[in-house]
Amino acid sequence: MDRYVSIHLDRSLDKPLYVQVFEGIVRLIEQKTILPGEKLPPIRKLAALLKVNTVTIVNAYRFLEKEGFAVSKVGSGTYVSPSLKPSAVEDLKKEPVMKKAGKTSGHGPYFNPQADSDIRAEKEQEGNVRYDFASAAISPEFFPVEEFKEVLNEVLDRDRGYAFGYQESMGYPPLRQSISELMFKDYDIKLPAEEIQIVSGAQQGIDIIAKAFLNYQDTVYVEVPTYTGAIDAFKSRGAKIVEIPLDPDGINIDELRARLKVKTPVLFYTMPNFHNPTGYSYSEQKKKELIALAREYDFLIVEDDHMNDLYFEEKPSPLKAMDDDGHVLYIKSFSKLFMPGLRLAFIASKKEFGMRIADAKYYSDISSSGLTQRAMDLFFRKSLWPGHARRMRTIFREKWQAIRLAIEEHIPRDINCKSPGGGLFFWLNLPQGYYSMNLYNMALKQGLLIMPGDFFYPDRRPSTGFRLSFAEIAPEDIKSGIKLLAETIEKLFQEYRLNPLRNNNFRPLL
């Protein structure tokens, strides 16, 4: 282990620690301090020695493997590649390591989501994250655990072993009925129970729709920016992704029309209300136009309703409410507002698609958990849902107001931002030429986390936009957090003013 002490890590650099560990090990190979075929230290030991998170070492080893410096043997560990050619080290000298690291995603290293979790894990481990505006999951302290415990116990007493048997693939029938009633009461939408398919979370819902409707090379339109979990699901079916820009009042209809004239997609994936990451909602006019276009060109709309219940102004209407002839495949998740770990959502589609969707669900995981479905059903039947949703709206409305005010007061005027009417996200745009990944890196050093826009584009391209989430942050931290963000933005501007080229240096390598 002594030989590894010489690996020097500098936390003040922009370079992620895993890249520094990677470079340190390559240097040891180059100096012949460690030899081809030799086993690298166990992850935990090296992490302890270098005082870093184990994720950092895992990433460094993965990177060594990717670049041909190491091989891993299942159950044994990671070894310096026995067939390491001297040219590998020479190649590395020719091509800067940061550029190589960026190859993972086709961009610079800061575009590597793994690197992001690497830095984040480091900061979190060191207790350095003071302001988390990145997390999109609400804090578990808001989960209705006591109420859920009661319904769980009641289900266990009532259904005993039946709660643990195989369930119907389409879902527990009383739950489908409860959902049907809830959607009518809350949103005035008639969704017969036969048209409801229970799934284990919206992510599975998207994946199941991809399985049920897409063939290899089919076209899917998506808004950009968007939730990339959906893109990954579509890509896993070999679909071609076409990006349609999203405006603050909904999809850019002219661009959509122009695209439709060239190619009709099989699916159009959208979040019409409180979009992730922008928080934007479609105007009623755009909703109507989108539905009309789906009819005219005969494609299916996948509506991802992940957040409709978290409204702070007007209650939004899902697209599904306007869908008279079944062009909308509606997915509603109970993750965001309720408890993500329950893994519960549903797809509503017209009856003729029911079997196709149920088959895809069956091939995925046979059925969602019987216990969870039964407990959720009882939660609805005891009318506990409206109270919970109301409580969440009250709690998050307060945070939404605080962040709105803080943005208005502190964020420079040339940062463009449209306040959302609900949900958990604000989307801010830096002026042209500034990249949010650079802001992210500067902010991270101050213990402030934001979500750079790059993560919401299919190709992770550099973006001026970034997302602020108020899911996790405590109300009392909002003002000071936004103030710190504003100061960091000013610093970014100053760096650029002092040396315009600096921004380019900062810019991830393309």
Ligand X SMILES: Cc1ncc(COP(=O)(O)O)c(C=O)c1O
Question: What is the 3-class SS of 11-78, one letter each residue?
Answer: CCCCCCHHHHHHHHHHHHHHCCCCCCCCECCCHHHHHHHHCCCHHHHHHHHHHHHHCCCEEEECCCEE
User: Would you count residue 457 as binding ligand X (CB under 6 A)?
Assistant: no
What is the closest distance, in whole angstroms, from the C-beta atom of residue 197 to ligand X in the complex? 14
Give, as ranges, the residues between 188 and 207 that touch ligand X (CB under 6 A): 201-203
Task: Report which secondary-structure segment, H or E, holds 390.
Answer: helix 385-410
User: Would you count residue 458 as binding ligand X (CB under 6 A)?
Assistant: no
Q: Which one of residues 333, 349, 469, 488 is an interface residue with ligand X (CB under 6 A)?
A: 333
Q: Count Cα atoms within 13 angstroms, Cβ side, for 189.
A: 25
Give, as ranges, the residues between 284 and 313 that touch ligand X (CB under 6 A): 304, 306
Give, as ranges, the residues between 90 and 129 that touch ligand X (CB under 6 A): none
- Closest by CA to 131, choosing from 450, 509, 497, is 450
What is the closest distance, in whole angstroms, from the C-beta atom of residue 469 to ligand X in the complex? 10
**What span, in angstroms and rounded, lies between the C-alpha atoms of 375 and 371?**
6
The Cα-based distances of 188 to 182, 273, 292, 322, 485 in angstroms read 9, 16, 21, 11, 41
Give the residue with the Cβ less far from ligand X, 304 or 323: 304
What is the closest distance, in whole angstroms, from the C-beta atom of residue 421 to ligand X in the complex? 17
Residues of the chain by 3-state class (helix, strand, coil), percent to 5: 50, 15, 35
User: Would you count residue 323 as binding ligand X (CB under 6 A)?
Assistant: no
Write out the two tokens for 117: 């979790």
Q: Please answer whether residues 16 and 108 qualify as being in contact, where contact means their C-beta atoms are separated by less than 8 angstroms.
A: no
What is the closest distance, in whole angstroms, from the C-beta atom of residue 46 to ligand X in the complex? 33
What is the closest distance, in whole angstroms, from the C-beta atom of residue 343 to ligand X in the complex? 7
Site string for ligand X, 218-237 (x = CB under 6 A): ---------x-x--------
**What span, in angstroms and rounded, lies between the C-alpha atoms of 265 and 218?**
7
What is the closest distance, in whole angstroms, from the C-beta atom of residue 377 to ligand X in the complex? 18
**What span, in angstroms and rounded, lies between the C-alpha atoms of 237 and 230?**
11
What is the closest distance, in whole angstroms, from the C-beta atom of residue 466 to ligand X in the complex? 16
What is the closest distance, in whole angstroms, from the C-beta atom of residue 331 to ligand X in the complex? 8
Give, as ranges, the residues between 334 and 353 that touch ligand X (CB under 6 A): 335, 340, 345
Residue nearest to ligand X (CB): 201
- For the chain, how big is the Rg over CA atoms in Å? 25
User: Would you count residue 376 as binding ligand X (CB under 6 A)?
Assistant: no
Q: Which one of residues 53, 105, 273, 276 is an interface residue with ligand X (CB under 6 A)?
A: 276
User: Would you count residue 326 as binding ligand X (CB under 6 A)?
Assistant: no
Q: Please give the size of the binding site for ligand X, defined by CB under 6 A.
A: 14
User: Would you count residue 77 as binding ligand X (CB under 6 A)?
Assistant: no
Backbone φ and ψ for 369, nearest 5 degrees, come out as -55, 130
Interface residue list for ligand X (CB under 6 A): 136, 201-203, 227, 229, 271, 276, 304, 306, 333, 335, 340, 345
